[in-house]
Amino acid sequence: MNENNMLCDLGAPRGLPAGVAWHPGHLAPARQAAVLAEVLRCLAEAPLVRPVMPGDGKPFSVRMSSCGPLGWVSDRSGYRYQERHPGTGRPWPAIPPLLLTLWDTLTGYPAPPEACLINHYDAAARMGLHQDRDEAALDAPVLSISLGDTAVFRVGGTARRDPTRSIRLASGDAVLLAGPARLAFHGIDRVLGGSSRLLAGTPLGGGRLNLTLRRVSLPYVK
Protein backbone atom coordinates (compact mmCIF):
# COMPACT_ATOMS: atom_id res chain seq x y z
CA MET A 1 0.00 0.00 0.00
CA ASN A 2 1.46 3.36 -0.98
CA GLU A 3 1.31 6.57 1.02
CA ASN A 4 -1.63 7.93 -0.97
CA ASN A 5 -3.66 4.84 -0.29
CA MET A 6 -2.90 5.06 3.38
CA LEU A 7 -4.06 8.67 3.50
CA CYS A 8 -7.14 7.68 1.54
CA ASP A 9 -7.89 4.83 3.92
CA LEU A 10 -7.80 7.22 6.85
CA GLY A 11 -10.50 9.25 5.14
CA ALA A 12 -9.23 12.52 6.60
CA PRO A 13 -7.94 14.11 3.34
CA ARG A 14 -11.47 14.19 1.95
CA GLY A 15 -12.92 15.36 5.27
CA LEU A 16 -14.67 12.03 5.77
CA PRO A 17 -14.91 10.31 9.16
CA ALA A 18 -11.95 8.09 10.03
CA GLY A 19 -12.46 4.62 8.60
CA VAL A 20 -14.48 5.76 5.57
CA ALA A 21 -12.44 5.13 2.42
CA TRP A 22 -13.89 6.52 -0.80
CA HIS A 23 -12.33 5.46 -4.12
CA PRO A 24 -13.97 7.60 -6.84
CA GLY A 25 -13.85 5.96 -10.25
CA HIS A 26 -12.21 2.80 -8.93
CA LEU A 27 -13.88 0.84 -11.74
CA ALA A 28 -13.18 2.14 -15.23
CA PRO A 29 -16.18 2.07 -17.62
CA ALA A 30 -15.24 -1.30 -19.19
CA ARG A 31 -15.01 -2.92 -15.75
CA GLN A 32 -18.32 -1.35 -14.70
CA ALA A 33 -19.91 -3.01 -17.75
CA ALA A 34 -18.29 -6.35 -16.92
CA VAL A 35 -19.46 -6.26 -13.27
CA LEU A 36 -22.92 -5.19 -14.42
CA ALA A 37 -23.14 -8.18 -16.80
CA GLU A 38 -22.28 -10.52 -13.92
CA VAL A 39 -24.81 -8.89 -11.61
CA LEU A 40 -27.56 -9.08 -14.27
CA ARG A 41 -26.93 -12.85 -14.48
CA CYS A 42 -27.42 -13.05 -10.70
CA LEU A 43 -30.65 -11.06 -10.94
CA ALA A 44 -31.99 -13.37 -13.67
CA GLU A 45 -31.63 -16.22 -11.18
CA ALA A 46 -32.53 -14.29 -8.01
CA PRO A 47 -34.98 -11.53 -8.98
CA LEU A 48 -35.18 -8.20 -7.17
CA VAL A 49 -37.91 -8.08 -4.54
CA ARG A 50 -39.29 -5.12 -2.63
CA PRO A 51 -38.71 -5.83 1.07
CA VAL A 52 -40.93 -4.49 3.85
CA MET A 53 -40.00 -3.06 7.23
CA PRO A 54 -40.14 -5.31 10.25
CA GLY A 55 -43.30 -4.71 12.27
CA ASP A 56 -45.35 -2.25 10.23
CA GLY A 57 -44.70 -3.87 6.83
CA LYS A 58 -44.00 -0.53 5.13
CA PRO A 59 -42.38 -1.22 1.74
CA PHE A 60 -38.78 -0.16 1.07
CA SER A 61 -38.31 2.25 -1.82
CA VAL A 62 -35.39 0.14 -3.10
CA ARG A 63 -35.70 -3.37 -4.49
CA MET A 64 -33.20 -5.97 -3.28
CA SER A 65 -31.61 -9.28 -4.06
CA SER A 66 -28.39 -10.97 -3.00
CA CYS A 67 -25.72 -13.34 -4.10
CA GLY A 68 -23.38 -15.47 -2.03
CA PRO A 69 -23.97 -18.19 0.57
CA LEU A 70 -26.08 -15.74 2.58
CA GLY A 71 -28.52 -13.03 1.57
CA TRP A 72 -29.87 -10.19 3.69
CA VAL A 73 -33.65 -10.01 3.92
CA SER A 74 -36.19 -7.87 5.72
CA ASP A 75 -39.82 -8.79 6.31
CA ARG A 76 -42.48 -8.29 8.97
CA SER A 77 -40.67 -10.66 11.32
CA GLY A 78 -37.32 -8.83 11.18
CA TYR A 79 -33.97 -8.44 9.46
CA ARG A 80 -31.71 -11.43 8.97
CA TYR A 81 -29.29 -13.31 6.75
CA GLN A 82 -30.68 -16.46 5.17
CA GLU A 83 -29.49 -19.08 2.69
CA ARG A 84 -32.41 -18.84 0.26
CA HIS A 85 -34.19 -16.26 -1.87
CA PRO A 86 -37.50 -15.41 -0.15
CA GLY A 87 -39.48 -15.59 -3.42
CA THR A 88 -37.99 -18.52 -5.31
CA GLY A 89 -36.91 -20.58 -2.27
CA ARG A 90 -33.67 -21.38 -4.10
CA PRO A 91 -30.13 -20.79 -2.80
CA TRP A 92 -28.68 -17.42 -3.82
CA PRO A 93 -26.36 -17.43 -6.86
CA ALA A 94 -22.62 -17.37 -6.20
CA ILE A 95 -20.83 -14.04 -5.79
CA PRO A 96 -19.38 -13.25 -9.24
CA PRO A 97 -15.59 -13.57 -9.61
CA LEU A 98 -14.99 -9.88 -10.39
CA LEU A 99 -16.61 -8.91 -7.09
CA LEU A 100 -14.53 -11.46 -5.17
CA THR A 101 -11.42 -9.90 -6.72
CA LEU A 102 -12.54 -6.39 -5.74
CA TRP A 103 -13.08 -7.60 -2.16
CA ASP A 104 -9.56 -9.03 -1.99
CA THR A 105 -7.97 -5.95 -3.52
CA LEU A 106 -9.80 -3.32 -1.52
CA THR A 107 -10.29 -4.98 1.88
CA GLY A 108 -7.31 -7.33 2.24
CA TYR A 109 -9.55 -9.28 4.63
CA PRO A 110 -8.27 -12.85 5.10
CA ALA A 111 -11.60 -14.53 4.28
CA PRO A 112 -14.06 -14.14 1.40
CA PRO A 113 -17.30 -12.20 1.63
CA GLU A 114 -20.40 -14.30 2.36
CA ALA A 115 -23.08 -11.88 1.23
CA CYS A 116 -23.40 -9.39 -1.57
CA LEU A 117 -26.55 -7.32 -1.19
CA ILE A 118 -27.82 -5.95 -4.50
CA ASN A 119 -29.95 -2.80 -4.17
CA HIS A 120 -31.69 -1.18 -7.12
CA TYR A 121 -32.79 2.46 -6.87
CA ASP A 122 -35.09 4.23 -9.28
CA ALA A 123 -35.03 8.05 -9.26
CA ALA A 124 -37.46 8.20 -6.32
CA ALA A 125 -35.76 5.62 -4.09
CA ARG A 126 -33.92 6.46 -0.87
CA MET A 127 -32.20 4.61 1.94
CA GLY A 128 -32.70 5.97 5.45
CA LEU A 129 -29.78 6.50 7.81
CA HIS A 130 -28.81 3.07 9.18
CA GLN A 131 -25.96 0.98 10.55
CA ASP A 132 -24.92 -2.36 9.02
CA ARG A 133 -24.87 -4.42 12.19
CA ASP A 134 -26.37 -7.82 11.41
CA GLU A 135 -22.93 -9.37 10.90
CA ALA A 136 -20.80 -11.14 13.54
CA ALA A 137 -17.61 -10.23 11.66
CA LEU A 138 -17.50 -6.56 12.65
CA ASP A 139 -13.73 -6.67 12.10
CA ALA A 140 -14.34 -6.96 8.35
CA PRO A 141 -15.05 -3.84 6.29
CA VAL A 142 -18.26 -3.47 4.29
CA LEU A 143 -17.41 -2.75 0.66
CA SER A 144 -19.88 -0.86 -1.51
CA ILE A 145 -19.75 -0.56 -5.31
CA SER A 146 -22.00 1.88 -7.18
CA LEU A 147 -23.18 1.42 -10.79
CA GLY A 148 -25.43 3.68 -12.84
CA ASP A 149 -27.00 6.92 -11.63
CA THR A 150 -25.14 9.12 -9.14
CA ALA A 151 -26.47 9.16 -5.56
CA VAL A 152 -26.05 11.49 -2.59
CA PHE A 153 -24.52 9.32 0.17
CA ARG A 154 -24.56 10.62 3.73
CA VAL A 155 -22.24 9.25 6.38
CA GLY A 156 -21.81 10.21 10.03
CA GLY A 157 -20.54 8.67 13.22
CA THR A 158 -21.55 5.73 15.35
CA ALA A 159 -24.34 7.68 17.06
CA ARG A 160 -27.38 8.70 15.02
CA ARG A 161 -27.08 12.33 16.16
CA ASP A 162 -23.40 12.66 15.13
CA PRO A 163 -22.64 15.22 12.39
CA THR A 164 -22.74 13.86 8.85
CA ARG A 165 -20.96 14.51 5.57
CA SER A 166 -22.42 13.99 2.10
CA ILE A 167 -20.65 12.82 -1.00
CA ARG A 168 -21.91 12.03 -4.50
CA LEU A 169 -21.32 8.40 -5.39
CA ALA A 170 -20.99 7.99 -9.15
CA SER A 171 -20.88 4.87 -11.28
CA GLY A 172 -17.65 2.97 -10.59
CA ASP A 173 -17.07 4.43 -7.13
CA ALA A 174 -16.13 2.15 -4.24
CA VAL A 175 -16.64 2.96 -0.55
CA LEU A 176 -15.36 1.03 2.43
CA LEU A 177 -16.70 1.35 5.93
CA ALA A 178 -13.94 -0.08 8.10
CA GLY A 179 -12.48 0.08 11.57
CA PRO A 180 -13.88 3.08 13.46
CA ALA A 181 -16.48 3.64 10.69
CA ARG A 182 -17.68 0.02 10.48
CA LEU A 183 -20.77 0.93 12.51
CA ALA A 184 -21.12 4.47 11.16
CA PHE A 185 -24.63 5.62 10.31
CA HIS A 186 -25.07 6.09 6.57
CA GLY A 187 -27.79 6.34 3.94
CA ILE A 188 -28.82 7.58 0.52
CA ASP A 189 -30.67 10.92 0.46
CA ARG A 190 -31.44 10.93 -3.24
CA VAL A 191 -30.58 9.57 -6.65
CA LEU A 192 -29.90 11.88 -9.57
CA GLY A 193 -32.20 10.21 -12.11
CA GLY A 194 -30.78 9.92 -15.62
CA SER A 195 -27.23 10.93 -14.61
CA SER A 196 -25.79 7.71 -16.10
CA ARG A 197 -26.69 5.62 -19.13
CA LEU A 198 -25.08 2.43 -17.79
CA LEU A 199 -28.32 0.68 -16.76
CA ALA A 200 -30.52 2.24 -19.44
CA GLY A 201 -30.33 -0.58 -21.98
CA THR A 202 -30.71 -3.39 -19.43
CA PRO A 203 -33.86 -5.07 -18.09
CA LEU A 204 -33.57 -2.61 -15.16
CA GLY A 205 -34.33 0.26 -17.55
CA GLY A 206 -32.00 2.70 -15.75
CA GLY A 207 -31.46 3.81 -12.17
CA ARG A 208 -28.70 2.85 -9.77
CA LEU A 209 -27.33 -0.42 -8.46
CA ASN A 210 -25.41 -0.58 -5.22
CA LEU A 211 -23.60 -3.76 -4.27
CA THR A 212 -22.48 -4.21 -0.67
CA LEU A 213 -20.14 -7.06 0.10
CA ARG A 214 -20.00 -8.32 3.66
CA ARG A 215 -18.32 -10.96 5.72
CA VAL A 216 -21.09 -12.22 8.01
CA SER A 217 -19.61 -14.94 10.23
CA LEU A 218 -16.27 -14.83 11.98
CA PRO A 219 -13.70 -16.69 9.89
CA TYR A 220 -12.19 -19.91 11.21
CA VAL A 221 -14.80 -20.15 13.95
CA LYS A 222 -17.65 -22.37 12.82
Residue 127 near which of Fe ion, ligand MD6, none (CB within 5-8 Å, type-dependent): ligand MD6
Closest contact distance (angstroms) between CB of 170 and ligand MD6 is 11
Alpha-carbon distance of 158 to 153, in angstroms, equals 16
Could you give the count of Cα atoms lying within 13 Å of 203 in the half-sphere of its Cβ?
10
The letter for the amino acid at 2 is: N
* Phi and psi, residue 140, nearest 5°: -90, 140
Q: Which stretch binds ligand MD6 (CB under 6 A): 31-39, 41-49, 95-103, 169-177?
A: 169-177
Q: Out of 132, 135, 149, 173, which residue is the one contacting Fe ion (CB under 5 A)?
A: 132
DSSP state of 148: E
- 210 touches ligand MD6 (CB under 6 A): yes
- 125 touches ligand MD6 (CB under 6 A): no
* Phi and psi, residue 48, nearest 5°: -60, 140
Q: Which stretch binds Fe ion (CB under 5 A): 94-102, 116-124, 127-135, 146-154?
A: 127-135
- 115 touches ligand MD6 (CB under 6 A): no
Residue 153 near which of Fe ion, ligand MD6, none (CB within 5-8 Å, type-dependent): ligand MD6
DSSP E strand boundaries for 137-215? 142-148, 151-155, 165-169, 174-177, 186-191, 208-214
| SS3 label, residue 5 | helix
Closest contact distance (angstroms) between CB of 131 and ligand MD6 is 9
Closest contact distance (angstroms) between CB of 204 and Fe ion is 20
Rule CB under 5 A: which residues touch Fe ion?
132
